[in-house]
Structure 1
Amino acid sequence: MKGWHRYAITLVGGLAVGLGAAWAITGGGLSGGAIVNGPWTTSLGFGTKATDPVTRAAVARAGLLALPAKETVYWSAKTDAAGGPLDGNCRYSLSGTPLDARWWSVTIYDEAGYLVANPANSWSVNGANVALDAKGEWRVTIAPTRPAEGAWLPGTKGQPFHLTLRMYNPGKAFRANPAKAVLPQIVKEGC
């Protein structure tokens, strides 16, 4: 084999290994955050110059046009309250009280980071479209079939998913200690 062939093969092999490693490292989406609160994780560095290059690449790959934490905090959940992976075959209760933010939303994504295809064309709920009960709490069902009543985020049978919680203009009390903030509960009700 000629000498330049070996160099070409080594170069192509090195590029393939390097690109593959970069793809694998940045494929975790936003779940590698430094702050953990139940099943939710975040980093207050999203959208700032202080963010490390790997996190910046993961944010870019996730398609998140990140704003700094004083404007928006992005939480990601890939598991339920018991630590089990979120499964589109199952039914979950997503519930909580109004969040310490001017506005918030929860969006459902597939494992690749795309909106979950569903016949209802519904991918998100927010503080303006979920009703509060007599106790001042809200509840959303995440399941492949629409519940008889209440708010619903469609899951897709046979497809794992993750949730992104966006809190716009979070309050000072929240920003003081996000790891202790009251965030929505994700409880598996059955499969």
Structure 2
Amino acid sequence: MKSWHRYTIAILGGLAVGLGAAWALTNGGLGDGAIRNGPWTTSLGYGTKATDPLTRAMVARSGLLALPARETIYWMAKTDASGAPLDGNCRYSLSGTPLDARWWSVTVYNDTGYLVDNPAGVWSVNGANVALDAKGAWRVVISPDKPADAAWLPGIKGEPFQLTLRMYNPGAAFRADPKKAALPKIVKAGC
């Protein structure tokens, strides 16, 4: 074999390994941020120049047009309160009190970071469309079947999913200590 063949094979092999590793490292969205709060994770570096290259690549891969943390904080959850992966076959209660932000939303994505394909055409809930109960709390059911008595986000049977909580213009108290903020609880009610 000629030496230029060996060099060509080595360069192509190196490119394949490098590109494959980069693809694997940036796959699956942003579920491992530096800040943890229950099942939720975030990074206050999304959308800033100061973010490390790997996080910037994950943001680009996930399609998130990230704004800086003073404008929006993006929380991701791939597990419930017990640490079990979110499963589209199961029923979950997503609940909380109004968040310290001008506006917020929770969106359901599949495990690769894309919107869940569902016949109802419902992908998210937000602070403007969830009703508060007498105690000032809200509750949403995430399940494959629509409940008769609650706000609903569809899960798709047989598909794992993840949640993204977006908090637009978070309050100063929240930004001061996001690890201790009251975020929505994700509790499995059954499968």
| TM-score range relative to shorter protein | over 0.9
AA in 1 matched with 2:63: G
CA contact (8 A) 2:28 2:113 kept: no
Give unpaired runs (5+ residues) of structure 1.
Answer: none
The aligned residue for residue 116 of structure 1 is 116
Q: Say whether 1:41 aligns with 2:61.
A: no
- What pairs up with 1:1-20 in 2 under 5 angstroms? 1-20=1-20
Measure the CA separation in 1 of the matches of 2:32 and 2:81.
17
Task: Give the secondary structure class of the aligned counterpart of 1:109.
Answer: strand
Give unpaired runs (5+ residues) of structure 2.
Answer: none
Measure the CA separation in 1 of the matches of 2:186 and 2:32.
19
Q: Deviations over 1:103-141 (max 9, x none)?
A: 000000001111000000000000000000001000000
Task: Give the secondary structure class of the aligned counterpart of 2:27.
Answer: helix
Measure the CA separation in 2 of the matches of 1:183 and 1:34.
16
Structure 1: 4+ residue segments shifted above 4 A: none
- What pairs up with 1:38-117 in 2 under 5 angstroms? 38-117=38-117
Per-residue deviation, 1:28: 3.9
Percent of aligned pairs with the same amino acid? 78
Q: Deviations over 1:74-126 (max 9, x none)?
A: 00000000000000000000000000000000000001111000000000000
**Cα RMSD, aligned residues only:** 0.6
Per-residue deviation, 1:7: 1.2
Q: Deviations over 1:151-171 (max 9, x none)?
A: 100000010000000000000
Measure the CA separation in 1 of the matches of 2:54 and 2:134.
45
The aligned residue for residue 32 of structure 1 is 32
Per-residue deviation, 1:72: 0.2
Measure the CA separation in 2 of the matches of 1:37 and 1:158.
27
Measure the CA separation in 2 of the matches of 1:150 and 1:190.
16
Per-residue deviation, 1:5: 1.3
Q: Deviations over 1:145-191 (max 9, x none)?
A: 10112110000001000000000000000000000000000000000
